[in-house]
Amino acid sequence: MSKDPSHTPKHRRHSDQVTLSQVAKSAGVSPITASRALNNPTKVSDTTRRNVLAAVERLGYVPNLVAGSLASSRSKLIAVIVPSLINSVFVEVIKGLQETLEAEGYQILLGNTDYDLDREYQLVRTFLGWSCSALVTAGLRHNKACHKLLANWEHPIMEVMELGKGMDLNVGLDHVAAGRCMASHLVDKGYRDIVYVGARLAQDYRASMRYEGHKAVLQAHGIDAPIVELDTLGSLKAGSESLDQVFAQHPKTQAIHFANDDLAAGALLAAQRQGLNVPNDIAIAGFNGLPLGQHVTPQLTTILSPREEMGRLAAKELIRRLSGKNVVRRQHDVGFKLQLGEST
């Protein structure tokens, strides 16, 4: 069998992109040295580093991070999975994460489950496939498959929003306690006919946790704890429409404890439009401490949750873990604060 040396090799894939090898050649070093010059600058001499950087500049080299990740089975990607982008609360957490992670050179792969745990599982699968170096997810609840997948994963997992025993790291606040806190406030103020109003509680289960705390306090005082559940997700609109519904079902209502500030502010503005006096005709309380609630008159009584701070703290803990440091505490309570307005 005679070879045909003039035959063009069969496996030729083109790519006009500049590669590290080209940079290396241009700088007069081997590819691996060029790699070191870019990723472990201390491992090469000053001259070499300068030459390589000059070549990078000259050729307009853009590192292929995909190839790098495959070779090193590491990546500077961090998966962030949230249940919603409409709810500004998650966006603020993302913002906290993002500003801290991006400063350390990490990129965020963003996923939205739309409050669907099966969707979450799918996203987790996909993201693991990108060999992310960590995963941030909102909440402690996952479906079975997701749990199993994550349990065998060797990278840090950060569960945010609610405090509790998670799979790995956890930064959040105690929602049951927050519910108790607000309910106590309302009872102390002398209200007795208090309705809790939330939206899609099966999905937004943290709102249900707050209701649990709320109910416990009311029952301890021998008071009934009625709840009204809205169909639509929390929003100003839903809040403003909820007023009628509450009064229809509970005509004697003195105070409404809303699951979040969007609903509460919507109701407050609607009450004003209807000529109701807040808090004399109806007291209104929220949760989150959104700027909106602080700017309406009367100012909304709410519970401040440190959302951006939660994101920042989560990011910092992740970075500590990723840089090999021992992580002492696995759980971080960011707390909350009762913000007294004039709406109660």
Partner DNA sequence: AAAAAGAATGATAGCGCTATCATGACAGCG
Partner DNA sequence: CGCTGTCATGATAGCGCTATCATTCTTTTT
Q: Which is nearer to a copy of itself, 156 or 213 (CB)?
A: 156
| Amino acid symbol at 198 | G
Handedness of CA 101, 103, 104, 110 (dihedral sign): positive
Partner in contact with 82, chosen from DNA, a copy of itself, none, beta carbon below 5 to 8 Å by kind: none
Name which of 182, 176, 238, 249 is nearest 207 in CA terms. Answer: 176
How many residues sit in the footprint of a copy of itself (CB under 8 A)? 54
Taking CB under 8 A as the criterion, the residue among 269, 276, 304, 338 binding a copy of itself is 269
CA distances to 6, 83, 123, 124 from 119, rounded to whole Å, are: 54, 10, 6, 9
Taking CB under 7 A as the rule, does residue 44 contact DNA? yes
Taking CB under 7 A as the criterion, the residue among 43, 148, 325, 329 binding DNA is 43
Taking CB under 7 A as the rule, does residue 56 contact DNA? no
Instruction: Provide the mask over 174-213, with x wherever binding to a copy of itself is found by CB under 8 A and - wherever it is not.
Output: ----------------------------------------
Taking CB under 8 A as the rule, does residue 301 contact a copy of itself? no
Confirm if 197 and 228 have CB atoms less than 8 A apart.
yes
Taking CB under 8 A as the criterion, the residue among 21, 43, 45, 102 binding a copy of itself is 102
Instruction: Provide the mask over 255-294, with x wherever binding to DNA is found by CB under 7 A and - wherever it is not.
Output: ----------------------------------------
| Amino acid symbol at 43 | K
Q: Which is nearer to DNA, 56 or 310 (CB)?
A: 56
Tokens representing residue 284 in the block? 């209104």
Taking CB under 7 A as the criterion, the residue among 2, 5, 6, 11 binding DNA is 11
Partner in contact with 242, chosen from a copy of itself, DNA, none, beta carbon below 5 to 8 Å by kind: none
Confirm if 341 and 282 have CB atoms less than 8 A apart.
no
Please report, to the nearest 10 degrees, the dihedral formed by the alpha carbons of residues 234, 240, 242, 243 taken in order. 150
Distance CA 334, CA 314 (A): 10
Distance CA 195, CA 341 (A): 19
Confirm if 49 and 37 have CB atoms less than 8 A apart.
yes
Distance CA 256, CA 239 (A): 11
DSSP letter at 43? G
Taking CB under 8 A as the rule, does residue 151 contact a copy of itself? no
Whose tokens are 């002398």? That residue is 190
Query: Residue 76 Cβ, how far from a copy of itself at the closest point, in Å?
Result: 8
Taking CB under 7 A as the rule, does residue 63 contact DNA? yes
CA distances to 40, 42, 206 from 47, rounded to whole Å, are: 14, 12, 57
Taking CB under 7 A as the criterion, the residue among 20, 56, 82, 176 binding DNA is 20
Q: Which is nearer to DNA, 154 or 231 (CB)?
A: 154
Residues that bind DNA (CB under 7 A): 9-13, 15, 17, 19-21, 28-33, 35-36, 38-39, 43-45, 47-48, 61, 63-64, 67-68, 70-74
